[in-house]
């Protein structure tokens, strides 16, 4: 297990550890000398909270969401279907061991809170209730907010919390993702008084999250099976290749070729490139999309870098434009420069930031770009799809390229003919 996740090991003196952490917190926030340094995860969290101006003496987080807003967030939440699994795995344990189970959305807003009534009342005293936003930018370092910031399981004990009002708590949290898309759905947390900390709580919360994600995947497979019943007659009537996919691009069935497991997320009226099929225009069907070869010229992608914001222009059997962020425009320029060989996440990180330490950021940005462009950009390595003409834009005198801080863009500018 990651050393930075679990606070306690069997046999640790809980009270002694809490006293030392209180001394560390007091020293670091008063400019004194700490007896030991906080864990790396905690130090990062405190730095982020300080940079966002969080007051360590804050007691109640400001501006909680009202009942109506909480209910709207619950209705939209992808975690609602797995609440029964989470309750089965965690709520009875929480009730027996003086904890509460808390489930937030991806913004850190508390949507559900269940468990021991006494602990719920203690949580009310610090505003840890439905509607509260428990992100680092609001309440500083805590298991929920830090799990959001780090994208990983977190356990925080006593004075590892940024707010002094939270020093009597121990909290263990883990992110829960949609297994179909990789999207963060929210955070699952178990919290209670400091003396309830246990070395196995991290494993318990992690197991509950895995069971919930497995349940979401089983639901996905059931929906794909239902879509296959619709796909059969549709594909039987095709004279060539085609496939039927769900709303996330997962392939239910294919005809005329060995279809991939997944394609880019289809969007109505926007061309989508499928390897082995070519340029497709998605056609809506109940529960998903029918994809078949489009009748028309080869796809061509061009960039308008002089507009504000920059735009991607895709022309084929139809024409559409999409505004781009500066970062997405830079990514497309770099991929155009790389040609058919494409670029790995590490190469893109180096080209954008000058080092290879921004892999998570790069993958997230390219994932968003791929959803926008409907399969024009492929992965492993990242590259422009073979069926798309995409010449490298002329960067001579281009303001976006001149202002860019990306080393890879500067190299392309200097390589451009003058």
- C-alpha angle with apex 124: 122 to 125, nearest 5 degrees? 65
Q: What is the pLDDT of residues 55-81, one digit of tens each?
A: 999 999 999 999 999 999 999 999 999
CA of 311: how far to CAs of 322, 353, 397, in Å? 5, 23, 17
Q: Out of 3.30.70.260, 3.30.450.40, 2.70.150.10, 3.30.930.10, select the CATH number for domain 14-218.
A: 3.30.450.40
Give the start-to-end residue ranges of the domains of the chain: 14-218, 238-291, 299-415
The pLDDT value given to residue 45: 95
Work out the burial of residue 100: count CB atoms within 10 Å of its CB; fewer than 13 is exposed, 13-18 middle, 19 or more buried.
buried
The set of residues, in sequence order, having a beta carbon less than 8 Å from that of 175 and lying 6+ positions away, is 147, 148, 151, 152, 153, 184, 186, 187, 209
Tokens of 13: 């003196």
- In three-state secondary structure terms, 291 is strand
Name residues of the chain where pLDDT drops below 50: 1-3
Measured distance CA(72)–CA(238) in Å, rounded: 42
Domain 14-218 identical in fold to domain 299-415: no
- C-alpha angle with apex 397: 393 to 400, nearest 5 degrees? 70
Q: Which long-range contacts (CB under 8 A, 24 or more apart) does 236-241 make?
A: 238/292, 240/292, 240/293, 241/276, 241/277, 241/292, 241/293
The pLDDT value given to residue 2: 45
Provide the b/e sequence for 137-173 (b: ≥16 CB within 10 Å).
bbbbbbbbbbbbbbeebbbbbbbbbbbbbbbbbbbbb
CATH class of 299-415: mainly alpha
Measured distance CA(320)–CA(84) in Å, rounded: 44
The set of residues, in sequence order, having a beta carbon less than 8 Å from that of 163 and lying 6+ positions away, is 54, 56, 57, 58, 59, 126, 139, 140, 142
DSSP type of residue 261? S
Measured distance CA(63)–CA(41) in Å, rounded: 27
CA 24 from chain centre, in angstroms, equals: 32
Tokens of 15: 């009270």
The pLDDT value given to residue 199: 78
Q: Mapped to the 3 state alphabet, what secondary structure does 56-113 carry?
A: CCCCCCCCCCCHHHHHHHHHHCCCHHHHHHHHHHHHHHHHHCCCEEEEEECCCEEEEE
Measured distance CA(313)–CA(410) in Å, rounded: 23
The pLDDT value given to residue 206: 94
pTM: 0.74
The pLDDT value given to residue 404: 92
The pLDDT value given to residue 98: 87
The pLDDT value given to residue 76: 94
């Amino acid at each position: 297990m990651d050393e930075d996740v679990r606070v306690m090991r069997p046999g640790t003196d809980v009270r002694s550890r809490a006293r030392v952490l209180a001394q560390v917190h007091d020293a670091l926030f008063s400019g004194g000398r700490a007896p030991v340094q906080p864990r790396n995860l905690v130090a990062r969290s405190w730095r982020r909270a300080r940079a966002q101006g969080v007051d360590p003496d804050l007691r109640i987080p400001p501006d909680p969401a009202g009942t109506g807003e909480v209910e709207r967030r619950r209705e939209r939440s992808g975690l609602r279907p797995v609440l029964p699994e989470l309750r089965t795995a965690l709520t009875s344990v929480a009730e027996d061991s003086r904890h509460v189970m808390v489930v937030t959305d991806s913004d850190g807003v508390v949507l559900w809170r269940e468990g021991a009534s006494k602990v719920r009342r203690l949580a009310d005293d610090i505003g840890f209730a439905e509607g509260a936003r428990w992100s680092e930018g609001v309440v500083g370092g805590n298991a929920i907010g830090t799990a959001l910031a780090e994208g990983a399981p977190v356990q925080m004990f006593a004075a590892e919390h940024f707010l002094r009002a939270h020093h009597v708590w121990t909290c263990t949290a883990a992110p829960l993702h949609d297994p179909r898309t990789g999207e963060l759905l929210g955070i699952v947390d178990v919290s209670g008084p400091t003396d309830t900390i246990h070395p196995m709580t991290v494993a318990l919360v992690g197991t509950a999250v895995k069971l919930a994600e497995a349940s979401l995947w089983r639901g996905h497979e059931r929906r794909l099976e239902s879509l296959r019943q619709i796909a059969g007659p549709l594909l039987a009537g095709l004279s060539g290749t085609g496939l039927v996919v769900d709303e996330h691009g997962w392939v239910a069935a294919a005809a005329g070729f060995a279809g991939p497991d997944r394609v880019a997320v289809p969007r109505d009226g926007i061309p989508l490139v499928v390897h082995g099929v070519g340029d497709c225009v998605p056609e809506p069907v109940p529960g998903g999309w029918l994809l078949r070869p489009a009748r028309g010229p080869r796809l061509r992608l061009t960039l308008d870098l002089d507009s504000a914001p920059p735009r991607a222009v895709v022309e084929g059997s139809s024409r559409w434009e999409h505004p781009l962020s500066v970062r997405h425009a830079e990514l497309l320029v770099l991929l155009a420069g790389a040609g058919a060989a494409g670029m790995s996440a590490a190469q893109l990180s180096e080209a954008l930031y000058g080092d290879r330490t921004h892999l998570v950021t790069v993958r997230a940005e390219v994932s968003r770009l791929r959803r926008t462009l409907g399969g024009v950009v492929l992965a492993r390595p990242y590259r422009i799809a073979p069926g798309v003409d995409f010449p490298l834009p002329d960067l001579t005198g281009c303001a976006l390229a001149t202002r860019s801080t990306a080393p890879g863009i500067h190299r392309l500018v200097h390589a451009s003919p003058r």
